[in-house]
């Protein structure tokens, strides 16, 4: 089956050896001191981070919560951030980390907002309501539908590790996505870097499907273990996400340069891990 636009963009970046995804998750209180503490400052901050790190990334990933907190003004900043990245770097896909999930009629609204209004290339969603509910997302053949499987938070196992037919629930979810949901070849999954053993299991289940891997950097995921467990049969397949450790690498006027240095450092670390 022909690769969709999201996957084509990803694979073009992977072919260049780029697997880092920078999360654009700005918090006003953490912006460098010379920025005014207003939503408009977030837009300027994002632009400089995007320009500083673009050469090292396979994707950018704004989390919608950091923008929705400011209401209509925040939504506008999110939209302008996505537009800026796509206009300057159209080859780099934008993943909206929104973790949406609802019944199918509600999801129609979510898909229009995310893919048509904002123009994101991919979105994260919950699988809990089942395939019928999330079908409006799956119907967008050229977008990436990135489904939560084994998340990076400390309490992830409360439900995700529950045994069903002697296998944890997250494995059933991964199998369902790989075998039944991915008819448009537009699915990917989320597995946290904080659980490398589970990541390796999911990789075996989903084959060469893209895996979004949060938890590197501030959350403490082991990069070498992540690369070993997460790479596909081609040594690709990974969207390794880091946010705070990069965008807040400095709280001074050199924040963009420090973000560039930190992203380059992580890029080199990923490359070294791939060689081992």
| Architecture in CATH of 5-275 | Alpha-Beta Barrel (3.20)
Q: Where are the alpha helices (DSSP H) in 146-208?
A: 157-160, 169-176, 196-206
Taking the C-alpha atoms of residue 123 and residue 109, their distance in angstroms, rounded to an integer, is 14
Residue numbers annotated as active site = 99
Strands of the sheet with 144-150, listed across from one edge: 57-62, 20-24, 238-242, 211-213, 187-191, 144-150, 122-125, 95-100
- The 10s digit of each residue's pLDDT in 214-228 is 988 655 668 999 999
**Beta-bridge partners for 100:** 125
Integer Cα distance of 100 and 77 in angstroms: 20
Model pLDDT, residue 112:
97
* pLDDT, tens digit only, all 276 positions of the chain: 678 999 999 999 999 999 999 999 999 999 999 999 999 999 999 999 999 999 999 999 999 999 999 999 999 999 999 999 999 999 999 999 999 999 999 999 999 999 999 999 999 999 999 999 999 999 999 999 999 999 989 999 999 999 999 999 999 999 999 999 999 999 999 999 989 999 999 999 999 999 999 988 655 668 999 999 999 999 999 999 999 999 999 999 999 999 999 999 999 999 999 998
SS3 call for 188: strand
């Amino acid at each position: 089956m022909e690769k969709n636009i999201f996957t084509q963009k990803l694979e073009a970046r992977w072919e260049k050896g780029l697997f880092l995804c920078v999360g654009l998750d700005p918090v006003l209180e953490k912006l460098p001191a010379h920025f005014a503490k207003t939503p408009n400052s977030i837009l300027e901050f994002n632009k400089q981070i995007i320009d500083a790190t673009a050469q090292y990334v396979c994707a950018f990933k704004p989390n919608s919560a950091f923008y929705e907190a400011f209401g209509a003004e925040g939504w506008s900043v999110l939209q302008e951030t996505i537009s800026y990245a796509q206009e300057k770097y159209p080859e780099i896909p934008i993943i909206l980390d929104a973790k949406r999930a609802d019944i199918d009629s509600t999801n129609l609204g979510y898909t229009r907002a995310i893919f048509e209004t904002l123009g994101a290339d991919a979105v994260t969603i919950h699988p809990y309501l089942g395939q019928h509910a999330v079908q409006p997302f799956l119907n967008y053949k050229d977008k990436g539908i990135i489904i939560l499987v084994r998340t990076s938070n400390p309490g992830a196992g409360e439900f995700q590790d529950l045994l069903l037919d002697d296998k944890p629930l997250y494995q059933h979810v991964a199998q369902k996505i790989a075998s039944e949901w991915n008819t448009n070849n537009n699915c990917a999954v989320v597995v946290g870097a904080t659980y490398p053993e589970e990541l390796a299991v999911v990789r075996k289940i989903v084959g060469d499907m893209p895996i979004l891997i949060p938890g590197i950097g501030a959350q403490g995921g082991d990069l070498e273990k992540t690369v070993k467990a997460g790479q596909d049969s081609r040594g690709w397949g990974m969207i390794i996400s880091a946010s705070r450790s990069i965008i807040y690498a400095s709280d001074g006027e050199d924040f963009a340069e420090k973000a560039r240095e930190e992203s380059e450092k992580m890029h080199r670390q990923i490359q070294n891990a791939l060689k081992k």
